[in-house]
Structure formats: C-alpha cells, structure tokens
A and B are shown apart, each in its own frame.
Chain A
Amino acid sequence: MKTQNQKAWYFVLPVLLLVAFNALIPMMTVVNYSVQETFGNNVFFWEGLRWFEELLNSDRFHAALGRQFLFTGLILLIEVPLGIIIALSMPRKGPWVPVCLILMALPMLIPWNVVGAMWNIFTLPDIGLLGYLMNTTLGIDYDMTQSPFAAWATIITMDVWHWTSLVVLLSYAGLVSIPDAYYQAAKIDGASPFKVFRYIQLPKMKQVLTIAILLRFMDSFNIYTEVFVLTGGGPGNSTTLLSIDLVKIALGQFDLGPAAAMSLIYFAITLLVSWLFYTLMTKDDAK
C-alpha cells in the first residue's frame, strides 16, 4: 500500500518544470497562432475559429488524414502478428539469444533520416539492390518515384523493417516470463500448440502487447522523417502523410495560423485514439 505524502511533490518538481517548459510554452504558442492571421513582421490579426472551420472542411486535410490512418492501420496489421510469430519461434535460451536480440534491435537505433536515405539507396531502380532485383532479375516494373503503389509498398516495407523488432522484443519479454511448469501442465493435458498459444502465451503477452501496440500507434501516427526523406510525400501527394502536410504548411508556406490549428487537431486525434486503444485493451483487467 502506498503512503499518502504530499512532500513527494518535491521529487516530481524537476520533471514537472522541465517537461512544462518544453510542453506548455510551445503549446501556448501554437494555441495563440491558431486563432490569428499573420503577414510577417510579428503583426497578428484575430481570426477566431476560422482556421479550424476551414481545416475541418478542407479536402486536402481529409485526404492527408485518410492516408495517415491507412498507413498506421496497415503497419499495425502487419507488424503485430509478424512480431508475435517471430517472438514465438525465437530460441528461449542459449548462445543465440543475445545474437538475435542485438541484430533485431539494430534497425531501431539508426537515425530516422539515415533509415530513409538507406532505403532510398536500397530501392534505386538501376543501382539499388532491391530496385535492381525487381526490375532486372524479376522483370517487375518498380520505380518509387513514378508509381504511387510502389511508393506505398516501399514505405510500408520500410516501417516493417524498422519497427517490427519492437513488437518482437516486447512479446519475447512476455514469453520468457512464463514458467516452464505452465508448458509441462499443458503437455500433460495434451493441449494443442494453438491452445497453448491462446490460453497460456497470449494472456501472458497481453500487457507487453498493449504497450507495443500503443507505442507503434503513437510513433507511426507521428511518422515524418523516414517517409519524407524516402519519398518527399510523392509521387504527387500519394505519400503525403499528416505530419508531412503539416510541415509543408508550417515551414514551407509559412501559414502559421492554419498550421497551428492543424497541429492542435492532429494532437487531439492522437490523444483520442491512444486513449481508445488503452481503454479497450485494459477493459478486461478492470473487471
């Protein structure tokens, strides 16, 4: 049982101050911009909720939001089952465990723009390994800069390459925490591998999977650098995800008001969906 102690606030104070400095002040700036119009030189005009209304009715925003949900949905559908399958087939002990863990964690520690640049080099039609294999060896017409489908296939593959390991590592951590006695009991009962998975492994992985899905949702929904470096949002607007569109408006066109309004709506959607995920996945625990 935790003790009631208001002095604990002193322990939290440094964290509170640092995060507040980084979160509240910029957030207030964004809120401030979102209700004003500027033509530069720090001259601002009150605009009220105009930017929010325009944005919510804008086809461009709807399209970017749709692409964002499509991207996040696809990578969750691929990475979560794939990560579980890989974690299940990994060795539980022995000299290969650290080798597997190190090699699998490696993509996550590469700077995001290097990931984009790496995949760019990898997929160049004539001189990239994948591009060459597809075009010359397999005879499939593959050029990311021309075909929206190829661009989408590439950004999805890139994200699967980049982040599936997170799901693997988390699921694996859940799996190794299962005592051997559970498996022995299942063996005596003659449980099929599927039943072992459904009634022993999956419940044990549930907590770490909740974390994995939440982290993957937040990070894929906020993805910017990798996709921007790889495709620049093209061809056309086909891979212009929400964050890419936002940076285009904010830093490209310097439309601070609309960009700020978009930031707030963007943040609100991320919060809302994260909260929904969290509530749905922890619903059973509360009972």
Chain B
Amino acid sequence: MKKRALIPILYIAFLMLPIYWLVAMSFKTTNEILSGFSLFPQSFTLENYATIFTDPTWYWGYINSILYVSLNTVISLAVALPAAYAFSRYRFLGDKTLFFWLLTNRMAPAAVFALPFFQLYSAVGLFDTHIAVALAHCLFNIPLAVWILEGFMSGVPKELDETAYVDGYSFPHFFVTIFVPTIKAGVGVAAFFCFMFSWVELLLAKTLTSVNAKPIAAEMTKTASSAGYELGLLAAAGTLTIIPGAIVIYFVRNYIAKGFALGRV
C-alpha cells in the first residue's frame, strides 16, 4: 500500500514543478531573473502584482475573461438543459443525426474557424464584445454540455417525470423545481467543463477582440512580444490566471470523480 502511494505522489510533484517555477518567478525582480539561476526568490517583491493591479489594461483583461466565460457558461447550460432532456426522453425525426452533428463540432480545429469567425462577428456588429466571445465558445461548449447532461438525465428513471405529471405539475414547473435539482451533480460537471474550455481557449477569444473585451491571456502575449523580456510580469499574470480554475475545481471536487462515472462524459 505504501509503495503504491509513491506513484501519485511522484506524478503530483511532476505537475507542481512548472507551476512552482511560475509562481517563484512572479516574486522575483527582472534583474534577479536575468542575472542568473536561483531556486527561491532572493529579493522578494510584489512589484509585478502591483503593476497588474494598478494598470487598467491588465486588470480589465482579467475582468473581461471572467465576464465572457461566465456568460458562456450560463448560455451553454440554459440551452443545453432542454435539449439534453429531449435527447434523453424522446425519439424524434433526425435525433441521432443531430446528436452526432453536434459532437462533430467538438472536433473542429479552432484554427479552421478563426478567420470566418472574425468576418461573421464583424458583419453582425458584435466584434470586440464579450457576447461575441461567449457565443463563439458555444460552438464547442454546447455539444459537450448536451453530451454530459444527456448522460446524467438518462440515469434518472422516467417514472419521476410521470409521477410529477400525475401530481399535476406543469412541464416548466416540474423541470425547474424537480428535474434540474435531481441532476445537480450533472449540472455542476457540465458547468465545470464549460468554464474550463472557455477559460483556457485563446485563439478565438483573441481573434474576436481588440480592446474592449480583450482577455487576460491575450494581454500576456502582447507583453511577451512588445516589452521585451518582462518575465516577472508575465509570470505574475500567469499565476493570476490559475486562481479562478483552482476555485472552480475546489467547488466541484466531490462531483468530478462521481460525475464522470455517472454521466457518459
């Protein structure tokens, strides 16, 4: 038993090393970074973080990212819930074809869509808005959310629906007050995945924004190229992008393992 524990410990150590290095870098001054190798920050500084929190282009990047990611999660779940219900409960003309077609969108390389997306969202006047990025990310998040939720819903016996109708519930009332709470683990897992893929995607988010809705991650590429070697600042910005993810995982930690097994993710 003891020997077996070594494998996860080694694996987690391997995962943490690059993250440690990023965090350590963020507390170093540019001088220290460029002057040579040091395992721990020698002259500990919060200057890099101070720059980010005082410069509007930096902290707005952060707010922009959170805005469009939240917006995307809400939109994806709102439309995926009824659709997943339809797929799990009813047979209708073209249901299988539609389900497969939805999944194929998960396979489309974002690089393929970058340019047409730019033209499409410019044409409808949504370029450089949060809603544009949120809608664009629906391309791969809605299919995933439908897929996950359908798995969870199929695990709920149909008798639940029938009993509710016999008891005189209308469909919307039943769906919102009984059905959705029953599969709240599934909603949690689906929300986690929507958040995750929208938060980490950059190519489309960068293509669809220029100033007003620019994500934090795109702000970083600008620093990397124009201001030369501001490694400390880059590391601090990178460290800050890890935090929302960590918070979200903490909330769904009990659902992740169970969720995967229950749903058909």
Interface residues of A (CB under 8 A from B): 2-9, 11-12, 14-16, 18-19, 21-23, 25-27, 29-30, 85-86, 89-91, 97-98, 100-114, 117-119, 121-122, 126-130, 132, 136, 161, 164-165, 168-170, 172-174, 176-177, 207-208, 211, 218, 221-222, 224-225, 229, 242-243, 246-247, 250-251, 256, 259, 263, 266-267, 270-271, 274
Contacts and interface: CB of A to CB of B under 8 A. Distances in A.
Contact of B238 (A4, A8, A21, A114): A114
B67 interface: no
B178 interface: no
A106 B98 contact: no
B22 interface: yes
B86 interface: yes
A222 B111 contact: yes
B217 A113 contact: yes
B120 A26 contact: yes
A121 B113 CA distance: 30
Contact of B253 (A7, A102, A263): A102
Contacts of B176: none
Interface residues of B, number: 96
A97 to B, nearest CB: 7
A161 B257 contact: no
B203 A9 contact: no
20 contacts: A3-B89, A6-B92, A8-B89, A11-B86, A12-B98, A14-B78, A15-B146, A18-B79, A26-B117, A101-B249, A103-B16, A104-B12, A104-B15, A118-B19, A118-B21, A121-B22, A128-B21, A168-B11, A259-B115, A267-B107
Contacts of B34: 127
Interface on chain A toward B: helix, strand, loop, or mixed SS?
Answer: helix
A127 B257 contact: no
B79 A14 contact: yes
Interface in B77-114: 78-80, 82-83, 85-87, 89-93, 95, 98, 102, 104-114
Contacts of B87: 12
B109 A266 contact: yes
Given A122-B17, A169-B260, A106 B246 contact: yes
B52 interface: no
Contacts of A256: 115
A15 B103 CA distance: 12
Contacts of A169: 256-257, 260
Given A3-B89, A12-B83, A266 B112 contact: yes
Contact of A129 (B21, B203, B249): B21
Contact of B200 (A3, A12, A111, A270): A111
Contacts of B91: 2-5
B183 interface: no
Contact of B259 (A8, A173, A211, A250): A173
A113 B11 CA distance: 23
Nearest to B75: A18
A192 B112 CA distance: 49
A172 B138 contact: no
Given A9-B92, A113-B217, 4 more contacts: A85-B7, A110-B238, A111-B200, A224-B109
Contacts of B250: 102
B90 A267 contact: no
